[in-house]
Chain A
Amino acid sequence: MASGGDPKWQKDAADQNFDYMFKLLIIGNSSVGKTSFLFRYADDSFTSAFVSTVGIDFKVKTVFRHDKRVKLQIWDTAGQERYRTITTAYYRGAMGFILMYDVTNEDSFNSVQDWVTQIKTYSWDNAQVILVGNKCDMEDQRVISFERGRQLADQLGVEFFETSAKENVNVKAVFERLVDIICDKMSESLDADPTLVGGGQKGQRLTDQPQGTPNANCNC
């Protein structure tokens, strides 16, 4: 929120010189380090002071990937339950999710399944997810082993990283990987299956919904 007046942000946000725009969402329990993660990536800054995110926030960053400029709008969500209704509203537009837990916090790891359910409920079917175990620099307080994280990711069929926003470990890699996955998905959906240019069955499901209204007034 404070970043609203940040001149760098303004420059990035207003920049129209890009090819693709991807919207990404970072979710996970409260205090797993979502905001720190985003700040590390977008501004390369870190503060250990904990300030709970109010509702929702986002940052914009343009990256260069495979000869294409990709503008990322990265949404940082509040982990607290009281904002849940606001945050879930933004799931719809997100192409990729960074699902984060804290390797020093068992609860946050156990909630991953719930978050996946949330994604399945509110997001588009082909949204891409990466599981991230944050705070991997705090080895002495670690309760979730890398192996457990990896197993869960395998189970969910998503990719897995352990990161540290504080030590800047793997932060960039996570975003780059997510962009790659989405790019792959994009070329796959269009090139390998041109019928999708017109939308496949998945899109159909949603079109069924509002049909009743116009038909009521149709006199043909």
Chain B
Amino acid sequence: MDFQNRNNTANKFVCPSDRQLALRAKLKAGWSSSKSSEPLRPEEQEAIISVIRRNEEIEVAERQRVGRLVERVEKIKQHAVERGPNCCRLCGDTFGILRPQRILCEDCRQSVCAKCSVDINIRYHTSERTREIWLCRICSETREMWKKSGAWFFKGLPKYDMPRSASATPIPNPGLPGSMAGDAIRAVSVQSCHATPTRPARVKKLTIRVNDSSSSSSGHSDPEDEVDAGNGLSVGGANGDVAKGMSSGRLQREDSFRLRAYGSIRSFIDGGERKLSNSFFFGRQQSQRPSECPEYDSVSMSKLRRESSFLRRGSVSSSWSISDSSGSGSGNSGNSQSQSQFQQHQQQQQHCRDPLLGWLEIAISYREAFHSLDCTMMRARDLPAMDSSGLTDPYCKLNIITPEAHTKYTRWQRTKTVHKTRNPEFNETLQFVGVEPEELGNSLLYVALFDDDKYGHDFLGAAKVCLSTVHSTSQYRISVPLGVEDQYSNAAEMAQNWPNGKMLLSLCYNTKRRALVVNVKQCINLMAMDNNGSSDPFVKIQLKPDAHKNKKHKTSVKWRTLNPIYNEEFYFEASPHDLNKEMLILTVWDKDLGKSNDFLGSLQLGAQSKGDRLQQWLDCIRLPDHFHEKWHCLAPENPAH
């Protein structure tokens, strides 16, 4: 009747936390202590029961509504392809320079294409500023579901009934209308403070029932079993569920995981589908010893641990090979690489997180007498394509990274550019002088590959080589996978000198006016041409060869500045098809009165461009009515000449 007694009866719903007890002790008025023992009169009971019944109807409708929300998200998940990191998680499109742009979902950190993602504005309540983030459709729908179901408040999904499987999976439910009302009567009559009916279920624990018999090697688990596991995962956590789990003879083993609600909601919503996605990581790990893959980030490792439980169910044994082959197939379709060669590399590349970035072969030797480290860039393979013909003009930039994570030399060494190939043979030796023998043990050689272009150098891939294995006696040869951008590659790019400055350009194809909108936003670090150490810059814009005979446009002149801000828009009539053949030419000039204008720099954008320029051009055609903004470097040549 009172709290003390209730505690002793081991009813876990009633057990108050320490905080509750402490707070109750403070209540001098003592609602709990000076409880009137007068029972409710029958008519009062009836009135209360009628209210509870009414509430029951709402609860049932609510559970069904939440069930529909969950189902909706699940359906989207079922349609997800999950081919691997180089393909859109949802539609399976491969990313690349000529293909959809990769967008990283804020929540699941998986790659998706622009079609399958939503950008939402986030408001920070503390600072009143907004931030735009991208979410894949799954995660944005999951967030919506959390809002709509009230899970955001209870920190876990409330109890729900799935629309279709409601009849197939009768849960021994304490929440059935009849029993509920019965409970309520009892609760009311004993004046218990825990009339449970409206207590919202919340994440108490996640019970994953693992069917340990790995007999289901056929790749399909018994559907009934599947359903049951789904129920076991339900976040309801009502004691009925648990009781069933323990009494069910079919289950040979019950593993209970107490995960953060995050893990539980994710893993249970994705249900069976999830095991596929994560077995991607797991399959990788199986294919080689764990010690050989130090590159897993903590996220995928933790996922891996979590999902390993799914793997035990045996229904996913072959998933790696499936996703693997499909991934390579689609990755291949875009380039002229031969299939066999690709697969051969793939074997080696499996521990590389982003296999399509390519592969670099280096030879390193150390001459102790000169304190000189000789790094020979032998060759690179399978570099990303940067222009529309699928080729690249790669070169390498090298530096040494000290144990304090700084670059040792301010000047980056660079190789010559090898033109028009994705498999360049560099065969060039670069020397680092002044490397002490003891430094070798804890320094790294950093190599970043860039695409050489007049209007900016685009990142291709980067590699770090540990120098501790380099000896003075022999040459050390190694083939390293190329990874993604990091702070050093950015530093390498920044070290590049662009005397002509940069321009921020925003492009948009307006489908209503059937025109390309060019917004010249601003320029920085232009050259000074006038005696006063400044310039009077303006930008000329034209489209060539122009099918619609658009006239040339000019921005206004910004007087006496090297960092002009224009923010001026110009329209060029063109069909999207035309744009594939045309080239946007921007030239920056210094306005001089009385004599001819001085040339300051140029920029060309079009389907013949490379790297970022090509990317922006294609994005603009692919995603019309959106502005695509990018910084570009200005080249010193005047294209008109």
Contact = CB atoms under 8 A, between A and B. Distances in A.
A48 interface: no
Contacts of A196: 152, 155
Contact of A186 (B15, B51, B122, B152): B152
Interface of B: 12, 15, 17, 20, 23-24, 26-27, 29, 31, 35-36, 38, 40, 44, 47-48, 50-51, 54-55, 57-58, 61-62, 65, 106-107, 120, 122-126, 142-143, 146-148, 150, 152-156, 187-188, 191-200, 202-205, 207, 237, 242, 245-246, 253-256, 258, 260-266
B261 A203 contact: yes
A93 B200 contact: yes
Given A58-B54, A213-B242, A86 B48 contact: yes
Given A89-B199, A126-B153, A190-B143, A197 B265 contact: yes
Interface in A102-156: 114, 117-118, 120-121, 124, 126
B365 to A, nearest CB: 48
Interface in A25-40: none
Given A20-B148, A124-B154, A211-B205, A89 B194 contact: yes
Given A13-B58, A117-B23, A197-B146, 14 more contacts: A1-B51, A20-B148, A54-B47, A56-B51, A85-B35, A89-B196, A93-B199, A124-B153, A191-B122, A198-B262, A198-B264, A198-B265, A206-B155, A218-B255
Contact of B205 (A20, A82, A192, A214): A214
Closest 5 CB pairs of A and B: A198-B262, A199-B261, A203-B155, A199-B155, A85-B193
Nearest to B39: A82
Nearest to B49: A55
Contacts of A20: 147-148, 150
Contacts of A14: 57, 61
Interface of A: 1, 4, 13-14, 16, 19-22, 54-58, 60, 73, 81-82, 84-86, 88-90, 92-93, 95, 114, 117-118, 120-121, 124, 126, 184-192, 194-200, 202-207, 209-211, 213-215, 217-220
Interface centre among A16, A209, A217 (most CB of B within 10 A): A209
A33 to B, nearest CB: 20
Given A1-B51, A54-B44, A210-B12, A88 B262 contact: no
Given A95-B153, A199-B260, A203-B260, A121 B23 contact: yes
A200 B199 CA distance: 20
A207 B205 contact: yes
Given A198-B262, A203-B155, A218 B256 contact: yes
Contacts of B147: 19-20, 186-187, 190
B155 to A, nearest CB: 3
B38 A214 contact: no
B254 A214 contact: yes
26 contacts: A1-B47, A16-B65, A21-B65, A57-B51, A85-B195, A88-B193, A89-B195, A89-B199, A93-B200, A118-B31, A185-B153, A186-B152, A192-B126, A194-B106, A197-B107, A197-B142, A197-B143, A197-B146, A197-B152, A198-B261, A198-B263, A203-B155, A203-B203, A207-B203, A217-B246, A219-B253
A88 B3 CA distance: 14
Given A20-B148, A89-B195, A214-B205, A13 B54 contact: yes
A117 B156 contact: no
A82 B65 contact: no
Contacts of A90: 198
A48 B23 CA distance: 37
A66 B458 CA distance: 44
Contacts of B256: 214-215, 218
A196 B147 CA distance: 12
A81 B37 CA distance: 11
A210 B120 contact: no
Contacts of B126: 192
A199 B262 contact: yes
A207 B255 contact: no
Contact of A188 (B125, B192, B258, B266): B125
B459 to A, nearest CB: 28
A121 B48 contact: no
Contact of B50 (A1, A191, A218, A219): A1
A198 B266 contact: yes
Nearest to A76: B51
B58 to A, nearest CB: 6
Contacts of B36: 81-82
Contacts of B123: 187, 191-192
Contacts of A209: 12, 15, 17, 204
Given A117-B26, A210-B237, A56 B156 contact: no
B354 to A, nearest CB: 24
B191 to A, nearest CB: 5
A86 B155 contact: no
B135 to A, nearest CB: 9
Contact of B156 (A184, A195, A203): A203
A93 B152 CA distance: 13
B124 A192 contact: yes
B47 A206 contact: no
B246 to A, nearest CB: 5
Contacts of A21: 62, 65, 148, 150
Contacts of A189: 152-153
Contacts of B143: 190-191, 194, 197
B237 to A, nearest CB: 7
A55 B266 contact: no
Contacts of B202: 203, 206
